[in-house]
Structure 1
Amino acid sequence: MTVRVLLADDHPAVRSGLRALLETGEGIEVVGEAADGAAAVGNARALRPDVVLMDLRMPGTDGIAATRAVVSERLAEVLVLTTFDLDEYVVGALQAGAAGFLLKSAGAATLVDAVRRVAGGQGVLAPEVTRRLLDRFVVPAAGDAQPPPPELAGLTPRERDVLGCLGEGMSNADVAAALTITEATAKTHVSRVLAKLGLTSRMQAALLARSAGVSAPRPSAGGPSLRA
């Protein structure tokens, strides 16, 4: 299946370079461009791409606000691509619902792979920011651990299993294999987990799962059984 991509960056030369780069990847089509956040949201509504490749610092509506709008309207997945790895940008983008965060220094193969992974329902983080993000959200200082959010109590045991799988970065196909359910059922469970927890992206769910200590189930000695 072709992955349809919308480019959002205020520099025409950058958009041109990204278009040329992405279109060398098999099964990727750039369907539109936008020079600011407002145009990115409008074009996402009109074109319904699979992925919006979003810069953060743009005139008018910035990339974080545009990401929030795109994700809240379920127009597309958002992969942030920026020059800046400042913590407030990383956190702001992920809180807005971005499925991934990469730096513009990423190589061509890394970018193409990230676009495909995000389109397939996975999360992507630049190695440069992963450790800082884990330190901030996943590894609290001694004595500073927070109680799990009350919303977790509303999840069924199966939904907790799904949340644990998301915490390990699994795609829908991976979740289905781990829990011996169909991929369609896995997708339904993921949607319910996000809705119950008030989240807008798998990346947000992964961070929550890790910070709350929710892990994926391990196969029992007798082997898995098929269940929904």
Structure 2
Amino acid sequence: MTDNTDAGTPIRVALVDDQALFRAGIRMVIQSQPDMEFVGEAGDGREALRLVVETAPDIILMDVRMPVMDGITATKEILARVDASGAHPTRIIVLTTFDLDADAAEALRMGASGFLLKDTRPDLLLAAIRTAHSGSAVIAPGQTQALFAGLAAPEPERSVPASYETLTQRERDVFQLAAKGMSNQEIARTEYVSETTVKTHISRILAKLALRDRVQLVVFAYETGLLSPGGEDGA
């Protein structure tokens, strides 16, 4: 996995939401941060597609329910275009009003880097933006297990994908730890290797499994039954 964070370059943030008052509040929060730049906003998913082309944001805060085009459809189209063009990487954090929204799980399947509740405290929102920019998952506090339990495939449908068989044993060990949400530092301590080595393993795992990032790795682990909702290794 490539970390695109540049300490000297502000994180470019865009916002997509159909409520003007909400957009104004979030805009003020983003603009108050020296390491962030608010690059634009849109009121629906269709406008978001244009916004991405014009501003190339690092992070998009994307509402789920909007007129014209919903946030799930917009997320899918934006990330598909980014992947096809190989252009500037854009990560999406979806925003939802509900504690456990089925749309949030669907957004993760589509490639979103995580989801937050719309009433999240400003400091936690800012931390989430920085976390997503570094390539890690962002999940509303307290919702991780419940959300991924909903992603888990039924027992009869589970099978180990052929691509997983291409991983070395060490890569499988790292895969399992990353799928459980461990950071590179935690994995390094567990496996008695350096963080640089962990990053190398993660990059190789993502490439072999054709996954975008660690969020997609977690989704892959649950959907294939390689990790159960209780956090147990299913392989």
TM range (shorter): 0.7 to 0.9
Provide the residue aligned with 1:114 in structure 2.
128
| Residue 157 (structure 1) aligned to one of 160, 169, 176 | 169
Range that drifts further, 171-180 or 156-165: 171-180
Give 1:128 deviation, angstroms: 4.9
Give 1:158 deviation, angstroms: 4.3
Q: Give the match's secondary structure for 1:127.
A: coil
Provide the residue aligned with 2:4 in structure 1.
none
Give, in whole Å, the separation in 2 of the partners of 1:186 and 1:40: 35
Give 1:151 deviation, angstroms: 2.3
Provide the residue aligned with 2:23 in structure 1.
15
Give 1:24 deviation, angstroms: 2.5
Range that drifts further, 153-162 or 8-17: 153-162
2:115 partner letter: F
Contact persistence 1:121–1:171 (CA under 8 A): no
Provide the residue aligned with 1:83 in structure 2.
97
Range that drifts further, 43-52 or 192-201: 192-201
Provide the residue aligned with 2:141 in structure 1.
127
Give 1:53 deviation, angstroms: 0.7
Give 1:206 deviation, angstroms: 1.6
Q: Give the match's secondary structure for 2:143.
A: helix
Q: Give the match's secondary structure for 1:121.
A: coil
Give 1:124 deviation, angstroms: 1.2
Q: Give the match's secondary structure for 1:49.
A: coil
Give, in whole Å, the separation in 1 of the partners of 2:46 and 2:213: 21
Contact persistence 2:108–2:219 (CA under 8 A): no
Give 1:168 deviation, angstroms: 3.3
Give, in whole Å, the separation in 2 of the partners of 1:46 and 1:173: 37
Contact persistence 1:94–1:203 (CA under 8 A): yes
Give, in whole Å, the separation in 2 of the partners of 1:172 and 1:63: 30
Contact persistence 2:96–2:117 (CA under 8 A): yes
Give, in whole Å, the separation in 1 of the partners of 2:172 and 2:95: 31
Give, in whole Å, the separation in 1 of the partners of 2:44 and 2:51: 11
Provide the residue aligned with 1:207 in structure 2.
219
Taking a change above 3 Å as real, the CA distance of residues 59 and 166 of structure 1, as seen in their structure-2 partners, is same
Contact persistence 1:120–1:171 (CA under 8 A): no
Contact persistence 2:171–2:205 (CA under 8 A): yes
Identity %: 39
1:40 paired with 2:52, answer: no
| Residue 63 (structure 2) aligned to one of 55, 70, 81 | 55
Length-normalised TM-score, structure 2: 0.75
| Residue 150 (structure 2) aligned to one of 127, 133, 136 | 136
Contact persistence 2:49–2:74 (CA under 8 A): yes
Taking a change above 3 Å as real, the CA distance of residues 6 and 181 of structure 1, as seen in their structure-2 partners, is same
Range that drifts further, 24-33 or 104-113: 24-33
Q: Give the match's secondary structure for 2:159.
A: coil
Unpaired runs of at least 5, structure 1: 216-228
Taking a change above 3 Å as real, the CA distance of residues 79 and 155 of structure 1, as seen in their structure-2 partners, is same
Give 1:178 deviation, angstroms: 6.4
Unpaired runs of at least 5, structure 2: 1-6, 84-88
Range that drifts further, 62-71 or 113-122: 62-71
Q: Give the match's secondary structure for 1:79.
A: strand
Give, in whole Å, the separation in 1 of the partners of 2:116 and 2:148: 16
Equivalenced residue count is: 212
1:29 paired with 2:14, answer: no
Taking a change above 3 Å as real, the CA distance of residues 128 and 182 of structure 1, as seen in their structure-2 partners, is closer
